[in-house]
Copies of this chain bind each other. A is one copy, B any other.
């Protein structure tokens, strides 16, 4: 005798209401299951009359299609995985926000995984997340374990590396060159007459690359000394305060402080003002990130603006294009901008 299905068992128990299935909706609407499916997902294939009728029944019954089953059957999950160091950092969060907005519009959903800046953790998360068969993946930066690279290559699913433009792209890249940022900062402020620089940075791979490029360019410009405070993550406001305190203990304290994020810069401003240092006359401060798109700069602060919205949109768009069958390679430089403090 045939074993009882779980559905039969549950109904016998008579306790929990199981979610409806296409079959039940089809029955109620007097059509076949596939017609319900089509009315929902490919309306063009169904006559207007039946479509309306079916949709009415769907609404009345409160049917919510099971996307697990749908994805399995169609091998399309409408899921995009986003792996990033941490969401608790506005610089990443604002890009993710922009990505999600675009994806949501396009009917995709975002599966988010926090890697904590560790390629190993990224690999682990990747393994777990690939099991969901996402249609696309967004990674942060270009630093991945060999295993991660292999797996992604083998799977052939669309991948966007955001935030950085490395040499060997896994697939698509959207970001900018952090080396260029460092160099541009050096040139810009040396040209403006600054000579005594200081850096306050957290231990983020991209920030470190900006710092190195900055130092190298400064040396070329004849400035060999660059006090640098590299502090552990996360990049809180307090880290900026501590960083400044340390820099000021230096024999020749800086006249310009470059911070690896705007959050740090704000901490620096706070610390400076509590020490009675006038900004920017006695101490100029430069941030990085500018999630408010060019409006971060004030009489007190300059910043490097990276336009999170644009990057996020570009990331989402590259992915969506690819998912729509567009096979072209993408390597998009979203650039950055030095936004100088406004004249006060």
Contact = CB atoms under 8 A, between A and B. Distances in A.
Interface of A: 6, 16-17, 19, 62, 64-72, 75, 77, 86-90, 93-94, 96-97, 100-101, 104, 107, 109-114, 125, 127-133, 151, 154-156, 236-238, 241, 262, 266, 269-271, 273-274, 279, 291-292, 295-296, 298-301, 308, 344
Contacts of A87: 87, 93, 96-97, 100
Contact of A104 (B110, B114, B269): B114
Contacts of A88: 90, 93-94, 96-97, 291, 308
A17 B156 contact: yes
14 contacts: A16-B156, A62-B151, A66-B131, A67-B131, A70-B131, A87-B93, A88-B93, A88-B96, A100-B114, A101-B114, A236-B291, A236-B292, A273-B273, A274-B300
Q: How many copies does the complex hold?
A: 2
Nearest to A116: B101
B236 A154 contact: no
A112 B114 contact: no
B238 A154 contact: no
Contacts of A296: 237-238
A130 B125 CA distance: 23
Contacts of A64: 127, 130-131, 151
A318 B113 CA distance: 20
B66 A270 contact: no
Contacts of A107: 128
Contacts of A301: 270
**Smallest CB-CB A-B distances: 4 pairs:** A67-B131, A88-B97, A236-B292, A88-B94
A289 to B, nearest CB: 11
Contact of A344 (B16, B93, B274, B279): B274
A273 B300 contact: yes
Given A97-B86, A132-B109, A68 B62 contact: no
B109 A62 contact: no
Given A238-B296, A274-B299, A111 B114 contact: no
Contacts of A279: 273
A272 B141 CA distance: 38
Contacts of A273: 269, 273, 279, 300
A65 B131 contact: yes
From A107, A241, A299, residue with most partner B Cβ within 10 Å: A299
Given A64-B130, A93-B93, A270-B298, 15 more contacts: A62-B151, A67-B132, A68-B132, A88-B291, A104-B114, A109-B129, A109-B132, A236-B291, A236-B295, A238-B296, A241-B298, A266-B270, A269-B273, A274-B298, A274-B299
